[in-house]
Amino acid sequence: MGRMLKFLAILVILGGVALTGYAYLGDMTPPREEVTQPVTLDVE
């Protein structure tokens, strides 16, 4: 049982390190594009 808990703890730590590395090094910037839309104002 102790080996299983140690293995699970190691997996959790490695997963946290991998997630942190991906957050800092991964390219997560969205693509940018300009959006224009005409607006009609009903002014009296």
**Ramachandran region, residue 2 (left: φ > 0; alpha: ψ -120 to 50; beta: rest):** alpha
Look at residue 23 in the predicted model and tell me its pLDDT.
86
Write the DSSP string, the chain: -HHHHHHHHHHHHHHHHHHHHHHHHS--PPP-------------
Predicted local distance difference test score (pLDDT) of residue 28: 73
Give the pLDDT confidence score for residue 31 in this predicted structure: 87
pTM for the model: 0.56
Q: How far apart are CA 8 and CA 15, in angstroms?
A: 10
CA 26 – CA 8 distance, rounded (Å)? 26
Determine the pLDDT at residue 42: 85
pLDDT tens digits for range 1-44 = 999 999 999 999 999 999 999 888 887 788 899 999 999 888 87
